[in-house]
Amino acid sequence: MGLMDEDRCWLCDRPLGARAERHHPVPRSRGGRDTRPVHPICHRALHATFGNKELARIGDDRPKLAAHPELARFLDWVRTKDPDFHAPTRRRRP
């Protein structure tokens, strides 16, 4: 998937549905400006798994994000869901 593919989710690579959000690989609070299209559920999973400091360090390295065990489980689970599927996301553990 190309970085600028606006029809697919940057994180899970499923087609986008009626709602899409923009994820800053490097958080705005850390100087990030670039964004990637993501499903709302994928966006919440990212922020439930990683803090802004970690996201700033990892940046646009999607394979490194996807290798995290918690996020890998999420991606495996969500890959068969409808593009507009939504469910509550667990909060990040302290």
pLDDT tens-digit series, residues 27-62: 999 999 999 999 999 999 999 999 999 999 999 999
Residue with the bigger pLDDT between 2 and 69: it is 69
pLDDT in tens, 9-28: 999 999 999 999 999 999 99
- What is the 3 state secondary structure string of 17-72? CCCCEEECCCCHHHCCCCCEEECHHHHHHHHHHCCHHHHHHHCCCHHHHHCCHHHH
The C-alpha angle 24, 63, 28, rounded to 5 degrees, equals 15
Report domain extents, the chain. Answer: 1-84
Q: List, in sequence order, every residue forming a beta bridge with 36; answer none if it has no partner.
A: 23
